[in-house]
C-alpha cells in the first residue's frame, strides 16, 4: 500500500473513493472538508445524508455516487462519533472499519486531514492513526485460498495537503504507522498460520533471522539438552508429549551509546498448540488453540522493529516454545515437576500448561539480569469470561510499571483492565504434596489464581502480567481487522518502548 501526498484540492484528485468525515450530532456535524465538497456538489451530498438519516455515529459509513461531478468516483462519509469524545483511536477505528468493509472493491482512496480545531491531536499522530487504520483494516490472511481475480488490491492512499511543513509531518506519521504495522502483521501472521507451520523450530528460526538482520539484536536458542541442564523441569514437563523439539528462545536488544542500567524482559507464552494434553480440551475449545503462542508472536512482532524504535534500555525477548500434546510420553495429572527456581509444582491439570512454561522463563530472565518483567500470555479462559474479548487482564506488583502500560493502553486503544492479585487467594493454589499446585481448588477467579501462580516466580521484581486470552484471537471480525490473530500487544509495547 502506497501513501501519496498531493497539493491538489479534494475535488481535483482522481480516485475510486474520496473519504470525508463527520462527527455525531442530532443530524451530523460536518467537517470543513465535507462542507467544501458539498458546496461543489450544490448541496446534494448533505441532502442525501439527511435523507439517509446519517448521524455521524462512530464507524458509520455513508456512500454516495458522485456521477462524475468531481474526479473521485464515489464519496464515503465516515462517522467519528461525538466531537468531544474524539481521539486518535476513534479515527483509526473508523478508517479500519471502512478499509475492512470495502476490501477488494477499491484500488485508490483520497482524503484530507481534519483541521486543528476539529481534532486536538497533532497532524503527525493523526496521519499515523489514518495509516494504521488503512493497513490493519486491509489485512487479510488468505495465502491458502484460491486467488479471486475480481478483487481489487487497495494500492494507493492519496492525502491532500497544500502546506509543505504539514506534508513532512504527515510523511513521518505514515512511516511510524508502517513500522508499527509491520510488527503487528508479523504477529497476526504467526498466530494465523497453522500449528504444523509455526512450530518451536520455526519460531526459533524467525528469532535468529531477526538477530542476523539487526546488529543491535542477538539471539540464543537453547535445545532440549541445554534446557534440561538449566533445570527447567516445568517447561520440559509440558514438552514431554510432543515429538517436535522444544526451543527456549532468548532475544536481546542492546542499543549503542549511553543507556539506562535497567533491563526489561518481555516474556511471551509460546504454546504452539494447546490440546490440553492428557486433560484434553473439548473439541469446541481446541479449535482455536493455534493462538496459544500469541504472546510469543507479540514478542517477535516487537523485536522485528525494535531497532527502529530505539528504546534506550536493554530489552530481552523470551519465549519457551513447545506444543502441549498427548502421547505415551506425555506428562499426566499427579506428576510433580521441579521448576528452574527449585519450587516443585503438582500438575493437577495438564491444560494449565502456560503457567508452567512461564514460570521457568521468569526464573531464567532473572538469572540473566532482568530488572523488570512484562509478560503476555493467553493464560486463562477465565480472563476472557471476566473481561470479554476486547480487554486484556493486567496484573502487577508495581505501580510505576503498571501506570506506564495503562498510559500506552489509552494511547493505542489496546484495552487493559487491572485485576487484583489478592493475597488471600494464594491459599487456592496450595498443593498437598508439592510447593504449589498448577490449578486452584476452585474455578472461580481463575484469571487471578493464574496471575498469583506466576507471581510466585518473579522474585519480587517489578512485573506486569497481561492475560491476553480475550483480545489475542477473534472468532468474528473486530474493529481493526478480520477474524483471527489480532497482533494484540505489539502496538502497546512499541508505544511503551518508545518512551523508555
Ligand atoms: N490456553 C489456555 C487458555 C485460553 C483459553 C486461551 C481460551 C485463549 C482462549 C490455557 O492453557 C488453559 O487451558 N487454561 C485453563 C486453566 C485451568 C485448567 C486452570 C483454562 O482456562 O481452563
Ligand atoms: Zn491449556
Ligand atoms: Zn494454553
Tens digit of pLDDT at every position of the chain (500 positions):
999 999 999 999 999 999 999 999 999 999 999 999 999 999 999 999 999 999 999 999 999 999 999 999 999 999 999 999 999 999 999 999 999 999 999 999 999 999 989 988 899 999 999 999 999 999 999 999 999 999 999 999 999 999 999 999 999 999 999 999 999 999 999 999 999 999 999 999 999 999 999 999 999 999 999 999 999 999 999 999 999 999 999 999 999 987 899 999 999 999 999 999 999 999 999 999 999 999 999 999 999 999 999 999 999 999 999 999 999 999 999 999 999 999 999 999 999 999 999 999 999 999 999 999 999 999 999 999 999 999 999 999 999 999 999 999 999 999 999 999 999 999 999 999 999 999 999 999 999 999 999 999 999 999 999 999 999 999 999 999 999 999 999 999 999 999 88
pLDDT at 407: 98
Cell 510499571 sits at which residue? 401
Q: Which residues line ligand 1 (CB under 6 A)?
A: 274, 292, 349, 351-354, 378, 380-382, 384, 439, 446, 469
pLDDT at 309: 97
What pTM was estimated for this model as a whole?
0.98
Question: 320 alpha carbon to ligand 2 midpoint, in Å?
Answer: 15
Number of other residues whose CB lies within 10 A of the CB of residue 233: 22
Q: What ligand is nearest to the CA atom of residue 276?
A: 2
pLDDT at 333: 98
What is the rounded distance in angstroms from the CA atom of residue 183 to the CA atom of residue 497? Answer: 13
Q: What angle do CA 159, 170, 490 make, to 5 degrees?
A: 110
Say whether 146 is catalytic.
no
Q: Do 490 and 411 form a contact (C-beta atoms < 8 A)?
A: no
Query: Atom of ligand 1 at shortest distance to CA of 443?
Result: 19
- Give the residue whose CA is nearest to atom 5 of ligand 1: 381
Say whether 281 is catalytic.
yes
Residues 6 or more apart whose CB falls under 8 angstroms from that of 53 comprise none
pLDDT at 139: 97
Q: Which of 220, 281, 343, 498 is catalytic?
A: 281
Question: 290 alpha carbon to ligand 3 midpoint, in Å?
Answer: 9
Q: What ligand is nearest to the CA atom of residue 271?
A: 3
pLDDT at 259: 87
Question: 234 alpha carbon to ligand 2 midpoint, in Å?
Answer: 14
Amino acid at each position: 500500500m502506497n501513501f501519496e501526498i498531493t497539493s491538489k484540492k479534494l475535488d481535483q484528485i482522481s480516485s475510486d473513493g474520496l473519504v470525508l468525515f463527520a462527527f455525531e450530532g442530532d443530524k451530523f456535524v460536518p467537517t470543513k472538508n465535507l462542507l467544501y465538497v458539498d458546496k461543489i456538489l450544490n448541496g446534494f451530498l448533505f441532502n442525501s445524508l439527511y435523507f439517509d438519516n446519517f448521524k455521524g455515529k462512530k464507524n458509520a459509513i455513508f456512500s454516495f455516487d458522485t456521477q462524475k461531478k468531481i474526479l473521485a468516483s464515489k464519496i464515503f462519509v465516515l462517522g467519528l462519533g461525538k466531537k468531544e469524545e474524539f481521539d486518535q483511536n476513534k479515527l483509526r477505528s473508523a478508517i479500519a472499519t471502512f478499509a475492512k468493509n470495502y476490501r477488494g472493491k477499491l484500488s485508490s482512496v483520497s482524503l484530507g486531514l481534519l483541521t486543528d480545531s476539529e481534532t486536538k491531536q497533532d497532524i503527525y499522530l493523526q496521519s499515523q492513526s489514518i495509516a494504521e487504520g488503512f493497513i490493519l483494516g486491509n489485512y487479510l490472511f488468505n495465502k491458502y485460498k484460491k486467488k479471486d481475480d475480481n478483487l481489487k488490491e487497495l494500492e494507493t492512499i492519496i492525502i491532500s495537503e497544500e502546506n509543505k511543513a504539514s506534508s513532512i509531518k504527515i510523511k513521518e506519521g505514515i512511516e511510524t504507522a508502517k513500522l508499527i504495522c509491520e510488527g503487528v502483521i508479523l504477529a497476526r501472521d504467526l498466530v494465523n498460520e497453522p500449528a504444523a507451520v509455526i512450530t518451536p523450530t520455526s519460531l526459533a528460526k524467525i528469532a535468529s533471522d531477526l538477530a542476523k538482520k539487526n546488529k543491535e539484536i542477538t539471539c540464543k536458542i537453547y535445545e532440549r539438552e541445554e534446557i534440561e541442564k538449566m533445570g527447567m523441569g516445568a517447561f520440559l514437563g509440558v514438552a514431554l508429549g510432543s515429538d517436535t523439539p522444544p526451543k527456549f528462545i532468548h532475544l536481546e536488544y542492546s542499543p549503542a551509546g549511553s543507556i539506562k542500567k535497567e533491563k526489561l524482559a518481555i516474556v511471551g507464552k509460546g504454546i504452539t498448540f494447546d490440546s490440553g494434553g492428557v486433560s484434553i480440551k473439548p473439541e469446541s475449545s481446541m479449535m482455536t488453540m493455534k493462538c496459544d503462542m500469541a504472546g510469543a508472536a507479540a514478542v517477535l512482532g516487537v523485536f522485528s522493529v525494535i531497532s527502529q524504535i530505539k528504546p534506550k534500555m536493554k530489552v530481552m525477548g523470551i519465549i519457551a516454545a513447545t506444543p502441549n500434546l498427548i502421547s505415551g510420553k506425555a506428562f499426566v495429572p499427579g506428576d510433580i515437576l521441579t521448576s528452574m527456581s527449585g519450587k516443585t509444582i503438582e500438575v493437577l491439570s495438564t491444560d494449565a500448561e502456560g503457567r508452567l512454561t512461564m514460570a521457568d522463563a521468569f526464573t531464567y530472565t532473572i538469572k540473566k539480569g532482568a530488572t523488570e518483567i512484562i509478560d503476555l500470555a493467553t493464560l486463562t479462559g477465565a480472563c476472557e469470561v471476566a473481561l470479554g474479548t476486547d480487554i486484556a487482564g493486567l496484573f502487577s506488583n508495581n505501580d510505576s510499571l503498571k501506570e506506564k502500560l495503562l498510559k500506552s493502553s489509552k494511547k493505542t486503544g489496546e484495552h487493559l483492565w487491572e485485576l487484583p492479585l489478592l493475597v488471600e487467594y494464594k491459599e487456592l493454589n496450595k498443593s498437598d504434596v508439592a510447593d504449589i499446585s498448577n490449578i486452584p481448588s476452585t474455578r472461580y477467579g481463575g484469571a487471578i489464581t493464574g496471575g498469583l501462580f506466576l507471581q510466585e516466580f518473579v522474585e519480587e521484581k517489578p512485573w506486569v502480567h497481561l492475560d491476553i486470552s480475550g483480545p489475542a484471537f477473534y472468532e468474528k471480525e473486530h474493529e481493526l481487522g478480520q477474524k483471527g490473530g489480532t497482533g494484540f500487544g505489539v502496538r502497546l509495547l512499541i508505544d511503551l518502548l518508545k518512551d523508555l
